[in-house]
Amino acid sequence: MSNLQSLLDGFASALTLTNLGFGLLGTFLGTLVGVLPGIGPALAIALLLPITYTVSPASALIMFASIYYGAMYGGSTTSILLNTPGESGSVITALEGNKMARRGRAGAALATAAIGSFVAGTIATLVLAFTAPSIADLAIQVGAADYVALMLVAFTTVSSLLGSSQIRGFIALSIGLALGLVGADLQSGLSRLTFGSDAALEGIETVPVIVSIFALGEALYLASRFRDSGWAVIPMKGKALMSRDDWKRSWKPWIRGTFLGFPLGVVPAGGSEVPTFLSYSIEKKLSKHPEEFGNGAIEGVAGPEAANNANAAGALVPLLALGLPTSATAAVILVAFQTYQIQPGPTLFLTNGALIWTLIASLFIGNALLLILNLPLVRVWVQLLKIPRPYLFAGIVTFALMGAYALNTSIFDVQVAIAIGILGFLFRRFGMPITPLILGLILGPNLELQFRRALQISGGDYGTLVASPLSKVLYIVLFIALFTPVIARFMRKVRKDAHA
Amino acid sequence: MKLPQGGKSELTFVGSLFLVGAIVAWDTYSVELPAFNLTISPRVFPYAIATLLMILSAILFINILRGDTAVPEGHAEGTPIEKSDYRAFSLVLASLLAFLLLIERAGFIVAASLTFFGITVAFGNKRHGRSAIFGTLFITLIYLAFTRFLNVQLPAGIFKGLL
């Protein structure tokens, strides 16, 4: 069966009333959490994970994918009107977008962001639909040792490129790996780091950890820091529309952003920061109005927004084809798959083909729904920014605690959640990035499994780890990422230039 | 030499991360290995993590002493770092602990309403009566929605048999 046929079948099953309903709910929730500062897509999906026990896999995954895309649409609204980027991918959007809003061009900025996201999301999902299966076909030959190398590369890039300090990224990663150790070792039954607790034997639940490190950590941190900084929403005049000139200036950045963002999502390049920064600096170079950059240039919104969305679609390629998440949100979606005993990876398209094609089809549908939700209805979302901060955080925190408790009806999970919340506070206060910790926690046990598998096949010969050509290439990539954080330095320079 | 605001507490934090590494190593060392033989000992991976954590936190410790102190999240580089507001922080933490202590004793509605109220106070809400009433209503609604429609188990506590 050809990919196209599978995709059409996917559309047929995504367009059933139930699945369409969950898609709509997901786009709605995604936009909601994207707009609200303080909740990102990773937290939103983690909070909603408990429902996976009562809903069918297809419906739940459709909803999560819609949240994933929706949060990015919503995030741009907040960056433009509030100058408070909710996630790393919208930082750049805030640079020019907020300036545009201040000059009374909020409508055009919101429109180019939403339409750009739609264009990029649609093209990128199309590319995803036709590349992911072929990559999965290739990946079937990827051995355990190659997986070890792949995961180490993902760890290195995510730890090196996120945040301002490489060493802090790696420490965050190690803490995540250590948390992943807790519990009975699957192969030997050995109890590790349980300190005599029976509840700890089953390991630390990843969902409460993710929920509390974002929700509780953020609440503790913001309470201790930015007490008086309220939100100053820039009022929006007119409709979210673009003039002819805006269209003329936007379409090329959209396309360029798409083709920059997608490949950088496929290879683990540390999330959406790099592609959005790169897109911004390219648009600044190519623009006919470079003097407008820093004062609200529409290209500076159009390009990075497209790059951000294409990047998110690209990140689904390694997630689906290799089972390798490259961002916090992708990691949470991986956990969602695992709660259904579905392991993303090379065999996914064979074992759960229908499900995955439904998911991909729902991404197209979700994108179209999001465009509708975000252009004419943008004012409705702006109203959300009027929820008082105390109520917003009180709601987030109680939801997080409820989720932690309800997962296993266990008080132990609440204890873990609070401890992790304090850790999340400390991480924020001392400038350590959160994403490496989550990747370490989720991928650590998998890394150990593949590591042992590789060495069992080779009879304990460590040479097997670098035996295949693929692993050799991957280790070279790893060393490049490790020892030349030029990109990070480059990004910092761009950031400085942009602020200057 | 003088460390900037929060420098000492950062040293304590990084020092305790080193300790975490040491605890991982000690726990791995002291655990009894199973009788059967495994190609790769279940100790290899924990030892690697412990070593990584200890080496990195030691390096960071030295870096901090040399002046590479942390930039708190969301903080513009170069501006002075203000002192943490420990009163608000403690209020949030106390609200979290209240939930932990009360969820199984008094039930979800009491525990969560109290947490909700505590957080609004910590975030500077001044109209206490209003937020207490709104919070309790909101939590009760959530409780009913989750237990009735989503089959999520939450303890009724003191409202057992009533709701």
pLDDT per position as a tens digit, A140-171? 888 889 889 989 988 888 887 766 688 999 99
CB contact under 8 A, A430 and B116: no
Q: Got the DSSP string for B1-62?
A: --PPTTHHHHHHHHHHHHHHHHHHHHHHHHSPPPSS--SS-TTHHHHHHHHHHHHHHHHHHH
3-class secondary structure, A141: coil
Residues in CB range of A62: below 8 A, 6 or more apart:
A14, A19, A22, A23, A26, A358, A359, A362, A366
Question: How big, in percent rounded to 5, are the helix, strand and coil portions of chain A?
Answer: 75, 0, 25
Who among B28, B72, B135 is closest to A394 (CB)? B135
Orientation of helix A389-408 relative to helix A206-224, angle to 10°: 160
Residue A187, pLDDT above cutoff 60: yes
- The answer to whether B72 and A429 have CB atoms below 8 angstroms apart is yes
Query: Using 50, 70 and 90 to split pLDDT, how confident is the model at B22?
Result: very high
Name chain A contacts of B14, Cβ cutoff 8 Å.
Answer: 171, 430
Give the residue with greater pLDDT, A14 vs B55: B55
Q: How far is B1 from chain A (nearest CA, A)?
A: 20
Q: Got the DSSP string for A357-387?
A: HHHHHHHHHHHHHHHHHHTTTHHHHHHHTTS
Residue A245, pLDDT above cutoff 80: yes
CB contact under 8 A, A188 and B96: no
Rounded CA gap, A139 and A453, in Å?
17
CB contact under 8 A, B119 and A389: no
Chain B, nearest residue to A225 by Cα: B84
Chain B, nearest residue to A429 by Cα: B72
Query: Residue B146 carries which DSSP code?
Result: I
| pLDDT tens-digit series, residues A472-489 | 988 998 888 787 665 656
pLDDT, average across residues A422-444: 91
| pLDDT tens-digit series, residues B117-141 | 999 999 888 889 999 999 999 999 9
| pLDDT tens-digit series, residues B92-101 | 999 999 999 9
Q: Which of A207-211, B12-16, B80-84, B145-149 has the highest mean pLDDT?
A: B12-16
Who among A174, A223, A459 is closest to B123 (CB)? A223
End-to-end alpha-carbon separation of chain A, Å? 55
pLDDT, average across residues A402-416: 88
Chain A, nearest residue to B138 by Cα: A395
Q: What are phi and psi of A312, to 5 degrees?
A: -65, -40
Give the residue with greater pLDDT, A116 vs A289: A116
Query: Using 50, 70 and 90 to split pLDDT, how confident is the model at B106?
Result: very high
Name chain A contacts of B63, Cβ cutoff 8 Å.
Answer: 167
CB contact under 8 A, A165 and B68: yes
**Predicted local confidence at residue A254, as pLDDT:** 94
pLDDT, average across residues A401-428: 91
Rounded to whole angstroms, what are the CA distances from B83 to B15, B54, B78? 21, 28, 15
Residues in CB range of A194: below 8 A, 6 or more apart:
A182, A183, A184, A200, A201
**Predicted local confidence at residue A84, as pLDDT:** 67
Q: How many CB atoms lie within 10 A of CB A425?
A: 25
Rounded CA gap, B109 and A283, in Å?
53
Suggest the residue from B66, B123, B149 to mutate for an interface test with chain A (most A CBs closer than 10 A).
Answer: B123
Rounded CA gap, B56 and B67, in Å?
16
Q: Find the helix or strand (DSSP H, E) in which A309 lies.
A: helix A299-322
Suggest the residue from B41, B56, B142 to mutate for an interface test with chain A (most A CBs closer than 10 A).
Answer: B56
**Predicted local confidence at residue B42, as pLDDT:** 84
Q: How far is A33 from chain B (nearest CA, A)?
A: 18
pTM: 0.85
Domain segments of chain B: what residues?
Answer: 7-65, 86-154
**Predicted local confidence at residue B60, as pLDDT:** 94
Q: How far is A387 from chain B (nearest CA, A)?
A: 12
Residue B102, pLDDT above cutoff 60: yes
Suggest the residue from A95, A171, A396 to mutate for an interface test with chain B (most B CBs closer than 10 A).
Answer: A171
Query: Using 50, 70 and 90 to split pLDDT, how confident is the model at B116?
Result: very high
Which residue carries 């994108």 as its tokens? Answer: A367
Query: Using 50, 70 and 90 to split pLDDT, how confident is the model at A394?
Result: very high
Percent of chain A with pLDDT over 90: 21
Chain B, nearest residue to A227 by Cα: B123
CB contact under 8 A, B93 and A220: yes
How many residues are recorded in chain B? 163
Q: Find the helix or strand (DSSP H, E) in which A192 lies.
A: strand A191-192
Rounded CA gap, A301 and A108, in Å?
10
CB contact under 8 A, A193 and B154: no
| pLDDT tens-digit series, residues A326-369 | 888 888 888 888 888 888 888 888 888 888 899 899 999 999 99
Q: How far is A38 from chain B (nearest CA, A)?
A: 12
* Range in A193-197, A225-229, A280-284 with the lowest mean pLDDT: A225-229
Who among A177, A395, A452 is closest to B49 (CB)? A177
Residue A262, pLDDT above cutoff 60: yes
Measured CA angle at A272 (ends A29, A317), to 5 deg: 80
Query: Using 50, 70 and 90 to split pLDDT, how confident is the model at A137?
Result: confident
Residue A51, pLDDT above cutoff 70: no
| pLDDT tens-digit series, residues A197-241 | 877 888 888 888 888 898 899 899 988 886 554 566 777 767 778
Name chain A contacts of B115, Cβ cutoff 8 Å.
Answer: 394, 397-398, 401
Domain segments of chain A: what residues?
Answer: 3-499
Could you report the predicted ipTM of this complex, rounded to two decimals? 0.93
- The answer to whether A81 and A382 have CB atoms below 8 angstroms apart is yes
Rounded CA gap, A215 and A39, in Å?
7
Name chain B contacts of A394, Cβ cutoff 8 Å.
Answer: 115-117, 119-120, 123, 131, 135
Residue A264, pLDDT above cutoff 60: yes
Count A/B contacts: CB-CB distance under 8 Å: 206
Rounded CA gap, A171 and A159, in Å?
9
Who among A414, A429, A448 is closest to B103 (CB)? A414
- The answer to whether A86 and A75 have CB atoms below 8 angstroms apart is yes
Rounded CA gap, A484 and A482, in Å?
6
**Predicted local confidence at residue B82, as pLDDT:** 75
**Predicted local confidence at residue A364, as pLDDT:** 92
Suggest the residue from B11, B39, B87 to mutate for an interface test with chain A (most A CBs closer than 10 A).
Answer: B39
Q: How far is A448 from chain B (nearest CA, A)?
A: 7
